[in-house]
Structure 1
Amino acid sequence: MTSTANSRPYHVIVFGASGFTGQFVVEEVTRTLSDGPKGTMKWAIAGRSRHKLEKVLEQASATLTKPELMSEVGIILADVGDLASLATMCKQGVVVLNCVGPYRFYGEPVVKACIENGTHYMDICGEPQFLEGMQLKYQSQAAENGVYVIGSCGFDSIPADMGIQFTRDHFKGTLTAVESFLTISTGPEVGNTNQL
């Protein structure tokens, strides 16, 4: 994948950058890059509307006092309903961070385009059916193309991952499986969620 990485203009593309979650991801990528070595990672944002993407960069630029964002971050137009635009987007990046959900409706075309174009894929999905479906359907093709498809890299997965890590670290013996259950109960004023 090194030769591919060297031939593509962007290391990372944030797809769905103008959406609710995408805007936070843009700010976090900006913060992370500000703390790291300067100029080492080229990145872009992608979505359906150039105007909305420009507004996201303007907002992040103002919030983080980073006027250089407007000239340093690329803009790519892509739409999950336009497979050619997804292919064009994927060919420009090494990794696509997909923030377009719900994934059960909009995720598969992005996964497919990434695999077909040799681009690694990450998302913030918390939808088990989608995650399992993509693994069953695309695992072999992703492996053949040397592409990583990494789902559930976000808030939905963090509590469960931390719980499993804690259990593994404190379990006497070899941990071979963990089952988790979610119980939701509502009252007259507020809902109560307990996760075990």
Structure 2
Amino acid sequence: MQLYGSNTSPFARRLRIWCEQHNLAVSYQHLDIFSPDGRKFLLAHSPVAKIPFLVDGEQVIYDSNVIYEYLTAHFKLPGMSWDERNQFTMINAANDSAIELLLSQRSGFDTNEERLFFDLQKQRITLCLKALEQQAGIIEHAYVRASLFCLLDWLQFRELHDLTPYPALIAFWQALQASPQAQATDPRQG
């Protein structure tokens, strides 16, 4: 199995961390989707034109959420409870909104302007982080933990959201930062 993603993608990173934690036989390949060759490769394998994607023989899986489900089934690992799925949904929502803001900034938009789209993304991030702050001490599922860590680290890396109001999330993030998997996948490296 081959996982393709970007070294800076929080969605690819959480899969990499989780696969490493479970010693899953999944290789990883960095793909620069903004280079001509990388874009061509991406479009040849994924009609949704996003990373990460997983290639397992003839089977290609196009989304990190579905990749997680595929690997969970393939390796017969325990899935998430409904509460864990809700935690995961909040993490994904905050991550998606943060990526929308980053892409808007890179497209030349001032995301600090009062605009409905930007305001809604910021509101969603804040609401999700507030709820996750209350649950930080009870997040137990390995993939949910990896996903939350990657969200928090990515927000810091991209300087997209102030985490100061969330001491439990900061403590969670700091506790996982020194793990071998977090160190090996740090987007600040190379």
| TM-score, normalised by the number of residues in structure 1 | 0.29
Larger-Rg structure: 1
| TM-score, normalised by the number of residues in structure 2 | 0.30
Greater RCO (Cα-Cα under 8 Å, separation 6 or more): 2
Of Structure 1 and Structure 2, the greater helix share is in 2
